[in-house]
Amino acid sequence: MKKITSIDLFAGVGGMRISLSKALKKMGYEDDCKLYSEINSYSQQTYEKNFSPTKLIEDIKSIKEKDIENTIPDHDILLAGFPCQPFSRAGISIRKNLNRAHGFDDKDQGDLFFNILSILNIKKPKAFILENVQNLKTYQNGAILKQMLKKLRKNYYVPDPQVLDAQDFGLAQRRRRIFIVGFLNFKGQFNFPKPSYKRTLVKDFLDIYPPKKYIISDLLWDSHKKRKIRNKKAGKGFGFKLTYPSDKATITISARYYKDGSECLLHRGEDKNPRKLTPREVFRLQGFPESFKFSVSDLQAYRQAGNAVPINVVEKVCLNVAEYLILNQKNLVINKKAS
């Protein structure tokens, strides 16, 4: 089967890699991932349970620009769901409260875009797919995104980025993310995928017999209700969101879901305490297959699922990018092996 090479940066548990692999398989190709980067050891543990052995660079910042040519393997497609916390509304709020920098001024996570840029400019893969929170589009009145695009467009054709919502692509979760794609040698027009608007219900993604341990305690339920009343009086926040199995979608499930489940407490009937989603249910709402393996604690699983990409959406983006490359590019780093 023909292979298309890739690297998977800020990989988390491999959502973008799964998406690319699914897209290429539909076209009779196989993804040959040459390298992944992920700094979190728990995410590495989950990643390595689900993929064949792959070269790992824990901290992409450890690779100096002068070493990129020899350290980063040649590849056709660069994938990067680069850290969103410095650009998300919640992340910015937390950083402000802690008197910490955000955006590009966050030297731990906010400037990682420039590491991606250096790899693109030196290795020059045929295409790239970047993903981040929708707030990147309006952060600092769009100035940061404009700066990113200006730098990317020096070597790449980069169409205007698009915000896509998971609930429009067959997932019962409202999750809006911005996608930035680029092509080294572009001839023609690239179109982002059109939403399927497949009807979904939250109950379609739930366990039939969820363990009782996910039902929240009387103490936590009482605390949620009191906080909601306080927040309403103060005119801030929603306190918690009660979700019904018959709802079309949950709100965005974030990495902080492990704390108290306030983004999505499932209604179990009148006079019954609601329950949290199970880790498997959160992964389902992100489009991960049932075969996906994780053996970390619930805390880490919630973090990993909340930080992951929505598979259904990314797969469609990957499919459009791969279709363009396969139909229009003649110099892919494509290998053949016996089927």
**Mind telling me the catalytic residues?**
84
Phi and psi at 144, nearest 5°, equal -70, -45
Q: For residues 332 and 4, is the Cβ–Cβ distance under 8 A?
A: yes
The alpha carbon of 91 is separated from its chain's Cα centroid by a whole number of angstroms, namely: 16
Residue 55: which of 32, 37, 30, 74 has the closest Cα? 37
Question: Residue 168 and residue 175: Cα distance in Å, rounded?
Answer: 9
Question: Residue 78 and residue 184: Cα distance in Å, rounded?
Answer: 12
Q: For residues 123 and 75, is the Cβ–Cβ distance under 8 A?
A: yes
Q: For residues 156 and 204, is the Cβ–Cβ distance under 8 A?
A: no
Residue in the block written with tokens 């089967």: 1
Question: Residue 214 and residue 7: Cα distance in Å, rounded?
Answer: 37
Task: Output the CA–CA distances (angstroms, integers) from residue 173 to 41, 111, 145, 233, 315, in the order listed.
Answer: 27, 29, 25, 28, 16
Burial 158-176 (b: 16+ CB within 10 A, else e): beebeebbbbbbbbbbebb
Sequence-ordered alpha helix ranges (H) in the chain: 15-26, 41-50, 68-71, 89-97, 113-123, 143-152, 218-234, 257-260, 279-285, 298-307, 311-328
- Which residue type occupies 58? E
- Which residue type occupies 237? G
Question: Residue 42 and residue 178: Cα distance in Å, rounded?
Answer: 26
Q: For residues 206 and 264, is the Cβ–Cβ distance under 8 A?
A: no
Q: For residues 7 and 78, is the Cβ–Cβ distance under 8 A?
A: yes
Helix, strand or coil for residue 164?
Answer: strand
Tokens of 136: 């990147």
